[in-house]
Structure formats: structure tokens, C-alpha cells
A and B are shown apart, each in its own frame.
Chain A
């Protein structure tokens, strides 16, 4: 190994992470170029779903006079709602739609010439604002842990880690679905369907333990509960360390399986790609 390749620059080149860092920086700059838009989007995405959840609990407990629902009290429901906001911010973005649009519009051609995986490039660009939000969520969670006994800083860090794994899974599923646009021109509808299903099965709208026992298999058979429900349960101390490690293991298996599926589906589908014009 020459002295040049052993230097930090050489290490960077060896692991090819220079372009990844550049993509991350570019993605963050792009997402925050219009700061007010970015802020509005974050606030809107955080506060409105929380308000809707709170309203449901208000109707059930305060108007309806229930003392527990699904084994949870009003205060426990609110704790779930406000903690889940943090993880809802980290869960997948819309960058799988960007992949689909590239295939549909022919924009993919520009990326095929580059010495980087287009699927990874788009993910890293889209991940940048999510990582920023993950950091922010972590900071808020850790600050809250100083005042709320049921949340510990250590659990919060681990919960955000699980949410980031969920983000990877979400994108991988989207990347596989996006390959449908090689065949049908549009994968928009299927991606939308995926997002709608995720909304309810991730625990973003309601805690998944409200599902009746006969319907539990529905959310347990998808990885979506790892996005919001799992991290929230662990952060609130409702999951043991064993359950958490089990969830991380499940997430890793999904990531591995989906990595293979993403690689295979893109390699197969890209043969159908036809780019016309200059």
C-alpha cells in the first residue's frame, strides 16, 4: 500500500465514501433550500397526526367516559402519541417516488453514467433531512428523559436507532416497488398504496396494541411496526431489552432480504429501460 492510499484521503477513496458524503450534503442543502417550507413540512407532519390521535383519545376517554382502552389509560395514550411523533419524523420519506420519476421521465440516464449506484445515491440524498430530524428527535427525547421517569436517554438512543433501521427498510421496499415503473411506466399508485398501509400498520395513527387479538397477525407480518410502534414502545419502557433486540434482529433480516431483492429487481428491470433523445 502506498503512502498516498494509507492517508485519510486514500482511505476515503478506498471506501468510496466521498461521493456519499457529498450526496448527503447535497440532499440536506436541497431539502432546506426553502427553509420556511422545510419548517412548515416538519411542523405539519408532526403536529397534525398528533392532534388527530389526541382528539380520538379525547373522544374515547373524556367524552365517552372510558377509563382504559386496549389496556391503556388516557395518560398512557397521550405518552404514546407524543413519543411517536418523534419517530414518525424519522420514518421513510418520499425518495422512492424520485426513483420512479427518474425511470418514467428518462432522468435515470444521467445517473447510469456515474460510478455510483443510483438506488443508493437517491437514498442518501433523501436520508439527509431525515438524519437531521432523527438527531433533533433524539435531542428532544433525551431532554424529555430528564423530566419524565418513564423515558431513559439510553432507551431513546436505541429507539432512534431502530427507527433509522425502519427508514432503511421503508426505502428498500419503495426501491423494489419503483422497478415496476420499468414495466408499467407508473409505479405511483403502488407506492401510494404502500404509504397508506404504512400509515396504519406502523403505529403512526394508533398504537398497534389496540388491534383485536384476531387481527394482530396483520401488523406482525409486516416490518412496518418497526418504524414507529416498536421505537415508541421501547422508548416508553413498554418493551423489554430482549423484545428490543428481537426487533433489531427482525429489522436486520428484513434489510438483508430486501437488499438482495433490491439488487436483483433493479438488475433485472433495468434491461427494459429505454432512453430516447439527448
Chain B
């Protein structure tokens, strides 16, 4: 087990180094992407600022609690954007252009290679920005702080795992559909559900975003866990849903591979 982990860690380190060198060449990219992310954060804050200009509470959430949620959500999303997002934009090329061929010949999991090949290391800034926002609004949001801060990295990783599972579930169908553009767009449409606290949703949607499309696990559930703690059933739900997604994704990927015909040969 340990030699396998070591091998994967070494490959990840090499991928990381390659991406770092590539991004160091395009330094202006850092500033432009930073600008995009800042505006995105600004838009989300503006939306809630306008809404809270008309009300004091949104489904029991105060403005500060929603901003605390936005901090957790941005930090969690930054992890996914930094390490995985770019790979999914190139996912259909793997199958359509036959780029998967080269990955299949390597003595390592092709999924691992496919998902760690491209990184946007400059997006890591958003992680710090998100954590900064979380800290800024923690007291006003009623966060107990102290030892509970130790749970923040864990919940950010839960958010990362959820985004990874969901994005994969939306992309893996490219083996059958040839183009993944519309499914990617659909993912980002559904992703809007992750940008709002789950408490505001009607029961049916809330149930959906905690089971079939668990977008609530990216920021909303972690925020509730940090602010109030969850019921035992909710902890169990997070584990079960992520495991189901993991096994379902693995199954569909294997079926897809069986169907794959190299486009490059």
C-alpha cells in the first residue's frame, strides 16, 4: 500500500512541478484570472447585499452567516479549480482526439493521470481569500471558533471530493456522447445550487442537492457543520452519497473504457 501511495505521490509531484513551470511562463495569466475570480466573488456578495437590503433574514440565515458560507464555499471551490477543473475542460479531447491512448500505456491509473495532468495553480489565491472571508465573518456569524477551526480543512476536503465526483459524473458520458460541452454547461448551471445556503431551498430541491446531485456538500453542509454541527444521519448521508458516487463513477468509467476506440490510430 505504501509503495503505491509513494508512486502516486511522486507522479503528482512531477505533474505539480510541470504545471508550476508552465504557469510561471505566463505570469500575466495570474493577474487576469485573479481579476475574474475577484469579480465572481464580488457578484455573489453583491447579490446577497441587494437581497439583504430588502430583508433581515433569509430562511433564518443572517447576512453575516451567508457571507461566512460564501467564504467556505469559495475556499472549497478554489481547491477544485486549482487541482482539477482544467482537466475536465480537456476531458472530451481524451476520447475524441485519442489522447487517452498514451495514458492507457502508462503503468499507473489512467483516471489519475487524466485528472491531475492540468492544474491552475494561480487559483490557490482564492483558497486564501475564501479562508480570509470565513475568518472575517466567523464571529458575526456565531461560529464558536477555537478547536472547531481544526474541522475547516476537513470540510474543505469534503467539498473538494464532492465537486470532483459530480464533475466526473457529468463528464464521463463523453464516451457515448462524443462531445461533453453541453453536459459541462449543465454542470455549471446546476452548480448555481451550490452557491446558495441549502436552508433557502424548498424540501424537494434540498433533498435533491443532498442526494442525487449533492451540490450542498460543497459549501452549504460544511458551513452548517461548522456553525451548528450536523445530526448523525447527515454525517452518514455525506459518507454514503460520496461512496455511491465513487463506485458509480468507477463503474461508468470502466464501461466507457470498454467502448473506447482510439481516434488516433
Q: Cβ of A112: which chain B residues have Cβ within 8 Å of it?
A: none
Q: Cβ of B201: which chain A residues have Cβ within 8 Å of it?
A: 55, 58-59
B190 near A206 (CB under 8 angstroms)?
no
- B140 contacts the other chain (Cβ, under 8 Å)? no
Q: What 1/0 mask marks residues of chain A from 203 to 233 whose CB sits below 8 Å from any chain B CB?
A: 0011000111001000000000000000000
Q: Cβ of A206: which chain B residues have Cβ within 8 Å of it?
A: 47, 50-51
- A193 contacts the other chain (Cβ, under 8 Å)? yes
Q: What are 7 A-B interface contacts by the 8 Å CB criterion?
A: A44-B182, A44-B185, A44-B189, A48-B192, A56-B51, A59-B59, A186-B28
- B205 contacts the other chain (Cβ, under 8 Å)? yes
Q: Cβ of B202: which chain A residues have Cβ within 8 Å of it?
A: 55, 58, 62
Stretch in contact with the other chain, from B12-20, B31-39, B78-86: B31-39
B54 near A210 (CB under 8 angstroms)?
yes
Expressed in whole angstroms, the Cα–Cα distance for A47 and B196 within the complex equals 16
Least Cβ distance of B99 to chain A in Å? 19
Given A48-B190, A200-B47, A212-B53, are A192 and B36 also a contact pair (CB < 8 Å)?
yes
Expressed in whole angstroms, the Cα–Cα distance for A41 and B202 within the complex equals 25
Given A184-B28, A196-B43, are A215 and B179 also a contact pair (CB < 8 Å)?
no
A37 near B36 (CB under 8 angstroms)?
no
Residues of B at under 8 Å CB distance from A? 28-29, 32-33, 35-36, 39-40, 43, 46-47, 50-51, 53-55, 57-60, 177-179, 181-183, 185-186, 189-190, 192-193, 196, 199-202, 205
- A82 contacts the other chain (Cβ, under 8 Å)? no
Stretch in contact with the other chain, from A64-72, A101-109, A137-145: A64-72
Expressed in whole angstroms, the Cα–Cα distance for A210 and B186 within the complex equals 28
Least Cβ distance of A177 to chain B in Å? 12
Residue of A40, A52, A62 near B186 (CB, 8 A) is: A40
Beyond contacts A40-B183, A48-B193, A193-B39: 19 other A-B pairs, Cβ-Cβ < 8 A, are A34-B178, A34-B182, A37-B177, A37-B182, A40-B182, A45-B189, A55-B202, A59-B58, A59-B199, A59-B200, A60-B51, A60-B58, A64-B57, A70-B54, A189-B35, A193-B36, A210-B54, A211-B50, A211-B53
Q: Cβ of B55: which chain A residues have Cβ within 8 Å of it?
A: 60, 64, 66, 69
B50 near A212 (CB under 8 angstroms)?
yes
Residues 144-179 of A at the B interface (beta carbon under 8 Å): none
